[in-house]
Structure 1
Amino acid sequence: MNKADLLEHLKETSFEIAKGNIDDAILLHFDLVMEQYRTKPSFYKNVFKYDRLMVALSLLSFSYKDERVPLSKVKAFCYERGYMSHNSLDSYFSFFVITGNMNVRLDAEDGRQRIFQPTNAALRDTTQLVKSYLLPSQLVSPYDSRLFDIVSSADLLDVFFRGYTRLLEAEFQVGNLLPEAKWFLNRDGGHLPMLALYADTLRNGSLATGYNVSSYVEVSARLGVSKTHMQRMIKEGELQGYFKGHKRVVEISPAFIELIRRAMSIYFSVARVSLELGVDDSDMNRKSFGVCSSCGR
Structure 2
Amino acid sequence: MSLSRFQLQFHLEKQANNIRQSAAFHTAIVKHGELLRETYKKHPLFYKIIFRNSRFIICSTILSIYYHQPAAALKDIKAFFKGKNMISENSLDSFLFFLRVGRRLEVKPCEHDKRQLRYKPTPHALAETQALIASMARPYQALAPQMPIAALLAAPDFLPTFFAAYGQLMLKEIYLIDLVQQSGLFISKDAGHMVLLMLFIESIRQDSPFLLLSSAKIAKSCSVSRAHVNRILQAAEKSGLLTTTNNVVIELNSSFFIMAERYFSLYFAMVEFGLEHVWQNWQEGQTAKP
TM-score (norm 2): 0.92
Q: Is the 8 A contact 1:173 1:270 kept in 2?
A: no
Q: Distance in 2 between matches of 1:264 and 1:252?
A: 16
Q: Deviations over 1:220-242 (max 9, x none)?
A: 01111111111111111111111
Q: Is the 8 A contact 1:63 1:69 kept in 2?
A: yes
Map 1:93-172 → 2, pairs under 5 A: 93-142=96-145, 145=147, 149-172=151-174
**Is 2:71 the partner of 1:72?**
no
Alignment correspondent of 2:185: 183
Read off the aligned partner of 1:294 and give its amino acid letter. T
Read off the aligned partner of 1:264 and give its amino acid letter. F
Q: Is the 8 A contact 2:138 2:150 kept in 1?
A: no
Q: Is the 8 A contact 1:58 1:78 kept in 2?
A: no
Alignment correspondent of 1:289: none
Q: Distance in 1 between matches of 2:190 and 2:282?
A: 39
Q: Deviations over 1:11-35 (max 9, x none)?
A: 1111100111311111111111111
Alignment correspondent of 1:294: 287
**Is 2:39 the partner of 1:36?**
yes
Q: Deviations over 1:205-225 (max 9, x none)?
A: 223xx1112211111011111
Q: Distance in 2 between matches of 1:132 and 1:146?
A: 15
Alignment correspondent of 1:62: 65
Read off the aligned partner of 1:260 and give its amino acid letter. A
Q: Is the 8 A contact 1:216 1:249 kept in 2?
A: no
CA displacement at 1:173 relative to structure 2: 2.4
Q: Distance in 2 between matches of 1:126 and 1:11?
A: 25
Alignment correspondent of 1:5: 7
Secondary structure in 1 aligned to 2:183? helix
Q: Distance in 1 between matches of 2:42 and 2:85?
A: 30
Q: Distance in 1 between matches of 2:115 and 2:136?
A: 38
Q: Is the 8 A contact 1:216 1:231 kept in 2?
A: yes
Map 1:77-88 → 2, pairs under 5 A: 77-88=80-91
Read off the aligned partner of 2:287 and give its amino acid letter. S
Read off the aligned partner of 2:117 and give its amino acid letter. R
Q: Deviations over 1:162-191 (max 9, x none)?
A: 101111122222122224311211101131
Report the number of matched residues.
Answer: 286
Alignment correspondent of 1:245: 244
Q: Is the 8 A contact 1:101 1:119 kept in 2?
A: yes
Read off the aligned partner of 2:93 and give its amino acid letter. D
Q: RMSD of the alignment, in Å?
A: 2.0
Q: Deviations over 1:108-157 (max 9, x none)?
A: 111111011111111101000011111212212455x4666312322211
User: Would the alpha carbon gap of residues 184 and 246 (structure 1) be closer, same or farther in structure 2, given more than 3 Å must change?
Assistant: same
Q: Distance in 1 between matches of 2:224 and 2:123?
A: 28
Alignment correspondent of 2:207: 206
TM-score (norm 1): 0.90
Alignment correspondent of 2:264: 264
CA displacement at 1:80 relative to structure 2: 4.1
User: Would the alpha carbon gap of residues 167 and 211 (structure 1) be closer, same or farther in structure 2, given more than 3 Å must change?
Assistant: same
Read off the aligned partner of 2:244 and give its amino acid letter. G
Secondary structure in 1 aligned to 2:243? strand
Q: Is the 8 A contact 1:211 1:249 kept in 2?
A: yes
Q: Distance in 1 between matches of 2:286 and 2:113?
A: 38
Alignment correspondent of 2:273: 273
